[in-house]
């Protein structure tokens, strides 16, 4: 799932130019910094956001240096947020190998995150992307607000569907949107990009929501062998869509007190709490509920993307939206 090798191949020289900017931006004379940078660059992940940016640029015209730069900026901000997230979540692994947090310690993970974050903005300025600074500043705000709301809800355990969707929008859809919009606005023909911007925004919103919902579903699907640790969200007291869906099917009023009590047991390291939650999600079809919401966002994303001018890059985005 989400193997984007085929897009990287078709983007050819644009992809190479993005990789070069990313590598150059992270070149540092300090050995700890450069060894962590190499550690990260050697396990690059899906690099979905740069693919979104470059496909959007191609849809709007001919990608130039700013297009390659925004692809790198999106990836740097994403990686910076994960470096911080792994400290917040105390995550041992990332992308199937020990996280920077585990390998080099939390101080290094936070500092490298800060560094990538700063280099992202410098790269934007260096490639004449001053007009895109407000867009990316808003993303950092959204990411932080999304994480804060998630933290608050994990403490109170009082979360509504509306809260959950807001968290997904802020922590995931927001950067999807900035990647596509900045990719579009990075080409010289600003008129086409400006006209298509609302379509990119709506499509990215639904793609981001679908992406986060799928990620949250996978946390309840150990049988998928995705390589990611599972039952991590609930272990951090994060109530996500499969559990909310099960609660909705079972009846919120009658069942929320028991669900909260099970999470509190889990917080006390009583594994029975986890068994009860997993059993509840299964009994009340929480994953099926989440799958229906996922399908809704995938359909809406495809509807929006179909409004873009037909091209191989529109098709590539349609393919990603269906993954
Ligand atoms: C992963 O979610 C986390 C995010 C998508 C956003 C994290 C954002 C911050 C920590 C705010 C700070 C941002 C910057 C740029 C300094 P997840 O924990 O659900 O996914 P996972 O299972 O992959 O960890
Ligand atoms: Mg995490």
Domains of the chain are 5-312 (1.10.600.10)
CA-closest residue to ligand 1 atom 5: 171
- Please indicate whether residue 84, judged by its CB atom, sits closer than 6 Å to ligand 1: yes
Q: How far apart are CA 104 and CA 100, in angstroms?
A: 5
Q: 286 Cβ partners below 8 Å, 6+ apart?
A: 220, 241, 242, 243, 244, 245, 246, 247, 249, 280
Q: How far apart are CA 124 and CA 185, in angstroms?
A: 13
- Please indicate whether residue 88, judged by its CB atom, sits closer than 6 Å to ligand 1: yes
Q: How far apart are CA 275 and CA 270, in angstroms?
A: 10
pLDDT of residue 206: 98
Q: What is the DSSP string of 283-299?
A: HTTHHHHHHHHHHHHHH
- Please indicate whether residue 70, judged by its CB atom, sits closer than 6 Å to ligand 1: no
Inter-residue contact 204 to 163 (CB < 8 Å)? no
Nearest atom in ligand 1 to 219's CA = 22
Quote the DSSP letter at residue 173: I
What is the Cβ-side half-sphere exposure of residue 57, based on CA atoms within 13 angstroms? 27
For the chain (323 residues), the mean pLDDT of every run of 10, in chain order, is: 81 96 89 86 89 97 97 96 92 88 94 94 96 97 97 96 98 98 93 95 98 96 84 95 98 96 95 95 98 98 97 94 87
Residue 190 CA to ligand 1 center (angstroms) comes to: 32
Query: Rounded to the nearest 10 degrees, what angle do helices 65-88 and 174-185 cross at?
Result: 170
- Taking the CA of 90 as reference, the closest ligand is 2
CA-closest residue to ligand 1 atom 4: 171
């Amino acid at each position: 799932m989400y193997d984007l090798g085929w897009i990287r191949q078709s983007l050819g020289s644009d992809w190479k130019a993005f990789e070069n900017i990313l590598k150059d931006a992270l070149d540092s004379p300090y050995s700890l910094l450069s060894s962590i940078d190499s550690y990260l660059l050697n396990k690059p992940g899906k690099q979905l956001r740069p693919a979104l940016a470059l496909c959007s640029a191609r849809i709007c015209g001919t990608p130039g240096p700013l297009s390659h730069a925004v692809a790198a900026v999106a990836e740097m901000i994403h990686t910076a947020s994960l470096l911080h997230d792994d400290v917040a979540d105390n995550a041992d692994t990332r992308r199937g190998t020990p996280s920077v947090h585990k390998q080099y310690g939390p101080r290094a993970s936070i500092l490298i995150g800060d560094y990538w974050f700063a280099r992202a903005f410098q790269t934007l300025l260096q490639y004449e992307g001053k007009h895109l600074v407000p867009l990316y500043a808003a993303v950092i705000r959204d990411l932080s607000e999304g994480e804060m709301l998630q933290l608050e809800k994990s403490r109170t355990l009082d979360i509504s569907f509306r809260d959950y969707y807001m968290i997904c929008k802020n922590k995931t859809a927001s950067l999807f949107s900035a990647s596509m919009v900045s990719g579009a606005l990075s080409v010289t023909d600003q008129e086409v990009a400006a006209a298509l911007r609302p379509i990119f925004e709506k499509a990215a919103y639904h793609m981001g929501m679908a992406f986060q919902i799928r990620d949250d579903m996978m946390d309840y699907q150990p049988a998928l062998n995705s390589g990611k640790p599972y039952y991590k969200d609930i272990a951090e007291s994060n109530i996500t869509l499969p559990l909310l869906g099960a609660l909705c099917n079972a009846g919120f009023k009658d069942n929320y007190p028991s669900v909260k009590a099970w999470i509190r047991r889990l917080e006390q390291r009583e594994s029975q709490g986890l068994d009860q939650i997993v059993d509840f999600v299964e009994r009340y079809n929480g994953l099926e509920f989440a799958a229906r919401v996922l399908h809704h966002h995938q359909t809406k994303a495809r509807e929006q993307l179909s409004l873009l001018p037909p091209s191989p890059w529109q098709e590539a985005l349609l393919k990603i939206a269906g993954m």
